[in-house]
Structure 1
Amino acid sequence: MPSRDFKRTDRIGAELRRELGLLVHAAVRDHGLPSVSVSDVEITRDLDWATVWVTALVPEQGLPAVKALNQMGHEIRHALAHSGMRMRRVPELKFKYDDSVDKGERIDRLLREQADAPKPDDDASAV
């Protein structure tokens, strides 16, 4: 019998990520929201709730966009139900801001600043 490397929730989460990416892009375009994209979807084991992680092009606009998406959650869920996904019950959606990209950029900036900083001369400190 073949081994199952992925759980059912992982497969459903990946499909939800693809569909929600399109729906969120349409919501951004149609409602004039700040530019965000879906980075990940985590779904509960009972498939009742899905946490949708989004990233923003401009980090300062991330939280207002998440707030607007949460307010539009019912509308997005309804569109998801009619998008062609074959699910008995579409999970409730909860949008959250994914700040991992922001943290990575901050670490990268700090490392570059550290590399550009003048290094103390070892010979001068020995005197």
Structure 2
Amino acid sequence: MSKSQHGKGPSLRLLRVGENVRHAISAILSRGDVQDKDLETASVTVSEVRISPDLRNATVFVMPLGGDAEGVVTKALNKNAAFIRGEMSKVVHMKYMPRLKFIIDDSFDEASHIDALLRDPRVQRDLERNGDARGNPGDEEE
């Protein structure tokens, strides 16, 4: 990584590799190649894959349909990570196949929380008050 890229996030190369890995894992899971009783009935969305700069580790953000309150699905995915990695190596060609770590993607919950906050009547009232103070120059007292 060059000195100019520090603090700017992942490079285009890392993003491209992460997207290729995401597609490969999604295909493996959708085909049902992983033989695990905890994953048989689960529908899992792979929302993002973050690759380390050395391309040796990958954090896979997943969201099981219906949630994963006890972490059953993520535990099963992490238990079968070596198998998924092996299947992935048939599709994604890299010098080193990254080690996979599956975690729950909580960005969906965070977005819902922010949306609920913005819809709160108290917040709406404050936003309307600030809009009137800034946006209507004809309402100023003389």
TM-score, normalised via structure 1 length = 0.72
Structure 2 residues without counterparts, runs of 5 or longer: 1-10, 126-142
Distance across 1 between alignment mates of 2:47 and 2:33:
15
Q: 8 Å contact 1:13–1:41 — kept in the other structure? A: yes
Q: 8 Å contact 1:70–1:95 — kept in the other structure? A: yes
Pairwise CA distance, 1:87: 1.0
Distance across 2 between alignment mates of 1:27 and 1:62:
22
Letter in structure 1 aligned against 2:44: V
State the SS of the aligned residue for 2:29: helix
Give me the CA root mean square deviation.
2.6
Pairwise CA distance, 1:68: 0.5
Pairwise CA distance, 1:86: 1.7
Pairwise CA distance, 1:29: 8.0
For the pair 1:69 / 2:77, whether they are aligned, the reply is: yes
The equivalent of 2:93 in structure 1 is 86
Pairwise CA distance, 1:109: 4.1
TM-score, normalised via structure 2 length = 0.65
State the SS of the aligned residue for 1:90: coil
Instruction: Pick the structure with greater CA Rg.
Output: 2
The equivalent of 2:15 in structure 1 is 10
Aligned-pair identity (%): 34
Letter in structure 2 aligned against 1:8: R
Pairwise CA distance, 1:64: 1.4
Letter in structure 2 aligned against 1:13: G
Letter in structure 2 aligned against 1:78: G
Distance across 2 between alignment mates of 1:28 and 1:62:
23
Distance across 2 between alignment mates of 1:29 and 1:75:
8
Change (3 A) 1:57 1:98: same
Letter in structure 2 aligned against 1:106: H
Change (3 A) 1:26 1:63: farther
Q: 8 Å contact 1:62–1:97 — kept in the other structure? A: no
Distance across 1 between alignment mates of 2:70 and 2:45:
10
The equivalent of 2:27 in structure 1 is 22
Q: Map 1:95-110 onto structure 2 (within 5 A).
A: 95-109=102-116
Length, aligned pairs only: 110
Pairwise CA distance, 1:89: 1.7
